[in-house]
C-alpha cells in the first residue's frame, strides 16, 4: 500500500468518490484552481472541471446555503470552510436548515452533504485560525461530527461520511495534515462511523481523546509507562454519535479515566464524556474522572504551546489519576 499523509488521503477519497458518483461536487473558497489553502483539493479542478469543483465568493453562509440547496435538488455537495474558525457565519444555515430538513419534511427532503474544515492549533494561527468548535455542533440534533487522526482513517471516514444518509461535519486537524503518515489502500474502503479505536492497550487508566491531541496523549502514555503506569488510549474518531460502549468497556477495566481535548474545558465534549462515564461506570471508578483541555480563553498566538494540552500537561494528570 502507498504511504500517504492526511492531505493526500483526503484528496484521494474526494477523487475516488467524484469518479464513482457524478452527483458529488466540491465547493468553497479557492478549492478549484488553487487547490485549497492547504492544497487538499489540488488537481480536482483539472480532472473534473469547473462545474464540479467550484470556487466560491468569500461567504461562508452563502457556501453552506448554496450547498444545502444543491443537496435538496439531488446533488451531493462537499463544501469546504477554509478554517473551522470561519464556520460561524454559516452557523444559522447549519443549525436552522441543514440539521432539520429531514425532520421538518418527514424524511421527504433529506439535505445530505459533508462539510469539510480544518480545525485546531499547532500552526501559530492565533485566535482566528486555531479553534476547535466541535462541541457547538455536537449539541445540534441531526448532525454527525467526525475527526480523523491518521491517513487511513481520514480516507475511510470521509468515504463513509459521504455515503451516510445524515449531514456530516468532517473536522480535519490541521496540525497533523502532513505530520501524520501511514499506509493507505488505493481502492475503495470505509471506516464505520460511531466506532472508536483503542490505539494503545493499558490496564491502569483510560485516556479518551481525538484529533491532534491523540499523539500528545500517546507521548504522555509512553512516558507514564516508564513510571510503571500503563494507560489505555482511545481515539474517538467519530465524535458524534459517540461510541460510549468502547469507553465504558475500558473504564470498567481500568477504573480511572482522563479526557484530553484542545477545545476550551468548559462545556467541551469532554464534559459529556465524563457525564456519561459517571452515569454508566460510577461503581467501577477508583478515582474522579479528569480533563486536560485548552483553557477558557481566546486561543493565543504567542502562548500557543502553553494553551494546548500537550504531553507535558497530560503526563502529571495521568500520574495523579493513576495514583489516586
The catalytic site residues sit at: 129
* Residue 93 near residue 111, CB atoms below 8 Å: no
**DSSP assignment, residue 37?**
T
Q: How far apart are CA 244 and CA 238, in angstroms?
A: 11
Burial annotation 120-159 (CB, 10 A radius, 16+ → b, else e): bbbeebeeebbbbbbbbbbebebbbbbbbbbbbbbbbbbb
Burial (0-12, 13-18, 19+ Cβ within 10 Å), 39: middle
Q: Residue 15 pairs with which residues in a beta bridge?
A: none
H, E, C per residue of 80-99: ECCCHHHHHHHHHHHHHHHH
Amino acid at each position: 500500500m502507498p504511504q500517504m499523509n492526511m492531505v493526500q488521503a483526503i484528496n484521494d477519497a474526494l477523487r475516488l468518490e467524484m469518479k464513482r458518483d457524478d452527483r458529488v461536487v466540491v465547493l468553497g473558497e479557492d478549492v478549484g484552481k488553487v487547490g485549497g489553502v492547504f492544497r487538499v483539493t489540488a488537481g480536482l479542478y483539472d480532472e473534473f472541471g469547473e462545474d464540479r469543483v467550484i470556487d466560491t465568493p468569500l461567504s461562508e453562509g452563502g457556501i453552506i446555503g448554496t450547498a444545502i440547496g444543491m443537496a435538496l435538488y439531488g446533488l451531493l455537495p462537499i463544501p469546504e470552510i477554509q478554517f473551522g474558525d470561519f464556520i460561524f457565519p454559516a452557523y444559522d444555515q447549519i443549525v436552522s436548515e441543514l440539521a432539520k430538513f429531514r425532520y421538518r419534511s418527514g424524511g421527504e427532503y433529506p439535505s445530505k452533504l459533508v462539510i469539510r474544515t480544518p480545525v485546531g492549533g499547532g500552526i501559530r494561527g492565533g485566535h482566528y485560525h486555531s479553534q476547535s468548535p466541535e462541541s457547538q455542533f455536537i449539541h445540534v440534533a441531526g448532525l454527525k461530527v467526525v475527526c480523523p487522526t491518521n491517513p487511513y482513517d481520514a480516507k475511510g471516514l470521509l468515504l463513509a461520511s459521504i455515503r451516510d444518509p445524515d449531514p456530516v461535519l468532517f473536522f480535519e486537524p490541521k496540525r497533523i495534515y502532513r505530520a501524520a503518515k501511514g499506509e493507505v489502500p488505493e481502492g475503495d474502503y470505509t471506516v464505520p462511523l460511531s466506532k472508536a479505536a483503542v490505539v494503545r492497550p493499558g490496564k491502569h487508566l483510560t485516556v479518551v481523546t481525538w484529533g491532534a491531541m491523540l499523539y500528545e496523549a500517546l507521548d504522555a502514555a509512553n512516558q507514564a509507562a516508564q513510571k510503571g503506569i500503563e494507560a489505555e488510549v482511545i481515539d474517538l474518531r467519530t465524535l458524534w454519535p459517540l461510541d460510549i460502549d468502547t469507553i465504558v468497556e475500558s473504564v470498567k477495566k481500568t477504573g480511572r479515566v482522563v479526557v484530553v481535548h484542545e477545545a476550551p474545558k468548559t462545556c467541551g465534549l469532554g464534559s459529556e464524556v465524563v457525564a456519561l462515564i459517571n452515569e454508566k461506570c460510577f461503581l467501577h471508578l477508583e478515582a474522579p474522572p479528569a480533563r486536560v483541555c485548552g483553557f477558557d480563553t481566546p486561543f493565543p498566538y504567542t502562548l500557543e504551546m502553553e494553551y494546548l494540552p500537550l504531553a507535558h500537561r497530560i503526563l502529571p494528570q495521568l500520574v495523579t489519576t493513576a495514583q489516586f
